[in-house]
Structure 1
Amino acid sequence: MMNLNAMKPGTTLHLTVARTTEIGYILMNSNRDEVFLHQLEASEGLEENQKVNVFLYQDHQGRLAATMTMPFIDLNSVAWLEVVGVKHNLGVFLNIGIKKDLLLSKDDLETDRNLWPQEGDKLYCGMKIDKRGRLFADLATSEEIETLSEPAPDTIRNQYLEGYVYRHGELGVLIFTDEQYIAFLHEDETDRIVRLGERVKVRVTFIREDGRINVSLKAPKEIAYGEDAETILAYLSENDGFMPYHDKSSPDEIKEQFHLSKAAFKRAIGKLLKEKKVEQSPEGTRLIEKK
């Protein structure tokens, strides 16, 4: 049977001040195990035999230490934690509310570092102790996220929501929104890399029967067409009203010049032709001057 009063990192204990030192206090449990509480980690001046609640962690030298500041999580809880540092040889560091940040090991992250969280991102994590007794962050499982979730109503289609990416999958990522909905972002619905822990603003495209939602980072087609058309008009205006590109140009040329797919370029050109803002010839596309 585990000793609930055992001195181990990640636990909160009710200990007794055994004696004081010049820089802090020696705390002791009922088994007479001792741990050091630095005076900078004490919320008040303490006296011998006084009872205090402390959280145990490992200091920067790996020694067991105590603090009277209670962290956001312990070994029995999980919370959204902010990334405060990234070291590619170690992993990412998370703020848990005490002076010592908690490491999420690189072993628990994707091999592709482009998918790693950056400072300011947030991860839903708990704590764990490895075989060597070291304290690490522990990414919450999908099941733990699901216990927090709520089913989405049918009325939110095309609405914009915000949330944090909490899982990468083969076909896309999972997002937990501020409304506590679980959202799936398919890889076809984004034009960029989406990081773990990144806060994203997404548009609801579909509400599933189980209450989960499908979302997109892309604008609705009618808006996208307009934005792409404005890009082409701006290019024409900056180049004396002419460009050597048209709907027969190669996809590589279009991608290099406008950062658009061939299909998106053709849709935008079609919109401009219909609005009689441009005309095409075998040589390219010309801006129609207003009379």
Structure 2
Amino acid sequence: MADLLGRLITGKVTDENETDYFVQVEGTTFRLDKAEIKKPLRMNGTFTGFAYENENHDMQMTRDAPKSQIDRYGFGTVVRSQRTLGVFVNIGLPNKDIVVSLDDLPDMMELWPQQGDRLLIALREDAKHRLWGVLADGDIYQAIAQPANKRLQNSNVTVTAYQLKLVGTRVITDHFELGFIHPSERETEPRLGEELKARVIGVHDDGTLNLSLRPRTFEAIDDDSAMLLAALEHSEDGHLDFSDKSDPAAIKAYFGISKGQFKRAVGHLMKARKITQHDGGLWLADEASETSKTTK
């Protein structure tokens, strides 16, 4: 059995029934589902496939080898977790999920991968011939990484968290660029394997990224601010004859909000540098800039 499971192996076709072929390798017989085979196999011919123990504890082979194998890494999708064991990962086998041991997962269970999260794993076989998932370490991610282009600055990227540390979260993008999220650039700590939408806030000379999970300022504005900004954007010249000195009743009639809400929205947009306030009115920041240029 040693050096058979979790690998592509070749054996002799020794028997068949209505649903399966039987392939023998070094005295061990593996089931092979006939539904996978397009042309019938010859008795005493050879077949090469991926060997594993299925969920019914039968030895099985499949022609559709997963990317995750012994000493070979591939991404799998987490399907469930078990507090006393670890997380179960679908690597593409028809009737077998691979367990990543709780010993290899974060101490805090809330940081464990959840259903739908992705893990980059290889396989290992223990002394009882059971297959386990092995998480890729930093060296593996470095080996598969691609350098990021400077043009990614301020762009949005999709990333997967692969290493959780007190100093921050290490991630890899869908295009295999490596990135880092400092604790100050996130609201909560991501889970291991969690897919995240991030913004590039820095591109290092070595091709790695600094990322933020915080929204851009204009994305973070509240409903009142968004409404006020939209009103300015739809005005003829990016200008409205309202200010923090305007009559509360006039503000309520035009915007449908109180003067207090109006002042908070104005303050928020000014802090975000989206608008300016002068000459008794509000101006879009760009429009105010253009007006200033034409009056000089």
TM bucket normalised to smaller: 0.7 to 0.9
- Aligned amino acid, residue 86 of structure 1: S
- Residue 207 of structure 1 deviates from its aligned partner by 1.9
Q: Distance in 2 between matches of 1:123 and 1:88?
A: 18
- 2:152 equivalent to 1:156: yes
| Map of 1:204 onto structure 2 | 200
Mean Cα displacement is larger for which, 135-144 or 122-131? 122-131
- Aligned amino acid, residue 34 of structure 1: T
Q: Distance in 1 between matches of 2:267 and 2:57?
A: 60
| Map of 1:127 onto structure 2 | 123
The 4+ residue runs of structure 1 with deviation greater than 4 A are 269-277
Q: Helix, strand or coil for the counterpart of 1:175?
A: strand
- 2:231 equivalent to 1:214: no
Post-superposition CA distance 1:168-196 (Å, at most 9, x none) = 11121111112321110111101123121
- Residue 9 of structure 1 deviates from its aligned partner by 1.4
The 3 A distance-change label for structure 1 pair 201 and 23 is closer
- 2:159 equivalent to 1:136: no
Sequence identity of aligned pairs in percent?
A: 26
- 2:76 equivalent to 1:81: yes
Q: Given the two structures, how large is their TM-score scaled by the length of structure 2?
A: 0.71
Q: Helix, strand or coil for the counterpart of 1:150?
A: coil
Q: Helix, strand or coil for the counterpart of 1:93?
A: strand
Q: Distance in 2 between matches of 1:66 and 1:120?
A: 26
- 2:127 equivalent to 1:110: no
- 2:180 equivalent to 1:184: yes
- 2:65 equivalent to 1:48: no
- 2:192 equivalent to 1:175: no
- Residue 40 of structure 1 deviates from its aligned partner by 5.1
- Number of residue equivalences: 253
- 2:86 equivalent to 1:91: yes
Q: CA RMSD in A?
A: 3.5
Q: Distance in 1 between matches of 2:150 and 2:177?
A: 12
| Map of 1:37 onto structure 2 | 31
Q: Distance in 2 between matches of 1:159 and 1:112?
A: 32
1:125–1:138 CA contact under 8 A, matched in 2: yes
Unaligned runs of 5+ in 2: 229-250, 282-296
Q: Distance in 2 between matches of 1:212 and 1:58?
A: 40
1:41–1:67 CA contact under 8 A, matched in 2: no
Select the structure of larger CA radius of gyration: 2
Post-superposition CA distance 1:67-89 (Å, at most 9, x none) = 33322321131112222233333
2:76–2:92 CA contact under 8 A, matched in 1: no
| Map of 2:15 onto structure 1 | 19
| Map of 1:268 onto structure 2 | 268
- Residue 21 of structure 1 deviates from its aligned partner by 4.6
| Map of 1:230 onto structure 2 | 225
Q: Helix, strand or coil for the counterpart of 2:144?
A: coil
- Residue 208 of structure 1 deviates from its aligned partner by 2.1
Q: Helix, strand or coil for the counterpart of 1:144?
A: helix
- Aligned amino acid, residue 258 of structure 2: G
2:68–2:75 CA contact under 8 A, matched in 1: no
The 3 A distance-change label for structure 1 pair 211 and 71 is closer
- Aligned amino acid, residue 80 of structure 1: F
| Map of 1:68 onto structure 2 | 63
Unaligned runs of 5+ in 1: 248-264, 278-291
| Map of 2:258 onto structure 1 | 241
- Aligned amino acid, residue 47 of structure 2: V
Mean Cα displacement is larger for which, 20-29 or 113-122? 20-29
Q: Distance in 2 between matches of 1:97 and 1:270?
A: 52
Q: Helix, strand or coil for the counterpart of 1:147?
A: helix
The 3 A distance-change label for structure 1 pair 271 and 206 is closer
Q: Helix, strand or coil for the counterpart of 1:226?
A: coil
